[in-house]
Structure 1
Amino acid sequence: METKYLSVQALTKYIKRKFDADPHLHAVYVKGEISNFKQHTSGHMYFTLKDNKARILAVMFARSNQGMKFKPENGMKVLIKASVTVYEPSGQYQMYVHEMKPDGIGDLYLAYEQLKKKLEQEGLFSPKFKLPIPKYPKTIGVITSPTGAAIRDILTTIKRRYPIAKIIIFPALVQGDAAAPSIVQAINQANLQEPPIDVLIVGRGGGSIEELWAFNEEEVARAIFSSQVPIISAVGHETDFTIADFVADLRAPTPTGAAELSAPNIEDVMERILSRRARLIRAAKEKVDVQKTRFQQIQKSYAFRYPKVLHEQKMEQLDRQKELLLRNMKKFQEKQTEKWMLFTKQLERNHPSELVKKADSDLNVLEKNLKRNMMLIYNQKTHRFQSLIQTMDALSPLKIMERGYNLAYLDNGKLLSSIKQLKENDKLEVKLSDGSIEAKVIKIKE
């Protein structure tokens, strides 16, 4: 009996019918973690739903995701309702998602966010620590898998754009548990390279978050930050962001983009060189023309044609300037001499000996004035004193007593002014102008 062989298409169709005929696959409820998420410009979402032991491709068409209030992201845990069928062109089974809601965050994504926050707070992402990428590198280092598509893209791009650069490849594992130590060792080795490397590309091609996880490890981030060679990160596709991208001195969207950023296009460089060469030649020619024109003008100038006459004129001007200088010097000297004499006279007038003589003269004058004024005041006071003595003498009781008057005092020393102060046999003292007498009252009459 002849064996009948099926075509791949026929087998795939048969399997697809089996899937479509199973009612249990029309509405399945699955939970898992999103990976490799991409949203097409049409609005359709393509991703992988996975757990620790398996993964499955999934599609959510735009008509199904229009009402969603959140945007799915890599690492997000979700709960979905979907149907399972076979995609014939690739022969893979996949889910067509009808509904989706979040179910927390995946372990890897959570670890990514935590490390990102920690390193950002430490300043590893700060622009002030970013090293500049040299414009014209002599040596470019590449750290990636030596067998992946990324190294081929980088080498092809650099050789096409900047073939004069030397490329040194530092092979490293870029996936798996040993990848992070391998990348760190390659970075350290590149920093010790002699002669030194000008710029270093670190990266790999696209993949899931698990496949790119080595570039989210803390030891890799710190090795990139500590590198003395500027580093361009080139991890995954344009939508993939790793911790290495934030720490690196420059992030490229893809490995090919990193190659383009690491070195200029040789054609552009040559074009700039030729343009600047032309500008230099043109500027030099213009400079020569200007100097030539100036030289011709000098040749035609009066000084160049008649140097002897000009020399004579200058000599005459020099003689006049000398005369003017001498005249001004003489005037200046006379003026300074006059000032000097004036200052000398002022100095003589203000000399200490002259000041002492003047002070001595002023003192004599003041002394004479003082004596004269003192004598005048003395005479005035003497005359006044004599006048007061005469007045006092005229008013003195002794003068009155010389005319026959006398004063009587009681025993107690009081002046007798009334007979009422006396009684018979009282003693009195009678003062006359030339002495005094003691008396006794014999009889009192009113």
Structure 2
Amino acid sequence: MDVPALASETSAERPWPLRRLSENLKIHIERAPATWIEGQLIEYKNNRGNVYMTMRDLEEEYSLPVTAWRTVAMGFEGTVQQGSRVVARVKPSFWTKGGRLSMVVQEMRPVGLGDLLARVELLRRRLGEEGLLDASRKRALPLLPGVIGLITGRDSDAKKDVLRNTQLRWPAARFEVREVAVQGPEAPRQVAAALAELDARPDVDVIVIARGGGALEEVILPFSDEALVRAVAAARTPVVSAIGHEADRPVLDDVADLRASTPTDAAKRIVPDAAVESAGVADARHRLAAAVERRVMREGEGLAQLRSRPVLADPTVMVDRREEDLHTWRERARRSTGHRLTLERDAVAHLVARVRSLSPQQTLDRGYAVVQHAGHLVRDAAQVAPGDTLDVLVAAGRMAAEVTHTTPAAPAAGPAPTPQEQS
């Protein structure tokens, strides 16, 4: 029977033998290169020198069976066991007769604490280069938070320390508690999920992540997980890190808005001390009362000084003095006005006399008369002729006169002759 060369050429009439498929799968699968992977051993069984294990991812729910044959497993003695965190170089292998895929371990070594801490420091430097550790990014905690989010272990001493010490300082403090795993591979994921839940609540003003002391790898590693610390850096709510003891410093401490050395220290940082605040209020009230009393006394003394002045002892003195001044100035004004009136009266009388002396009536009163002929003043005898009727105005009345004769005026005398003219 003619067997197709390629899988795409097979059909119901021209199928491959099962052996051909298995052999081709083996060839295809075992072309994959060996790969280094990291995880935790959750199963470890030694069967006649061959070791059958299951590795689980450090962050997600993924697991993979792996097998170490006797020649490789001989080197595991005392270094690798169930629960160990390891790195392994594995290569896929396909058993054609059973149709089973397996991952064969070519090399496996435990991840030592020194290696893990080196990774933590590498992550810390990388985050620092990104600016996530800058002090300028850190937000101030509210003076008095309405609701405090607390992420901690289930029924842990850290939880009790935070709740007890916070309520001792501020009895009205309210909490939203999320109990999660705080060690092991599940811890970072559960803490990050609780953080996201509390950060989404608008009534939560501050979030505390607390864990008590313990082995170095239990304290440092879960809270130096990159996904967790980036979630803390991205949170909108201020985050307080209270992990372990003073000497422990996971990366979470550097990214959080505030690092507390212990859970008890965190309680002191997130709320004020009611007793201290009460004493401060009492002191402020005392100082305010003393300041008001001093002001009242000072103003009272000033008022007493004002009242002791003569003008306020007898206010009419000031009015009487001004009344005397008013009388004096009024008398001066009266005398000045009278003197001026007298002067002006004399001046008016003098002017009247002058006017009267120059008036035509005064001239008539001295015996002169005004002679008119035909409505015209007669200034020259030559203006009339005998027989003309004249109208004569005297000082008291008028009269009519008839011209009987006229006498012309004598010519004016010339200047006296000079001696030269006489000779």
Which of the five TM-score ranges fits, normalised by the shorter chain?
Answer: 0.3 to 0.5
TM-score (normalised: structure 1): 0.45
With normalisation by structure 2, the TM-score equals: 0.47
**Which is richer in helix?**
1
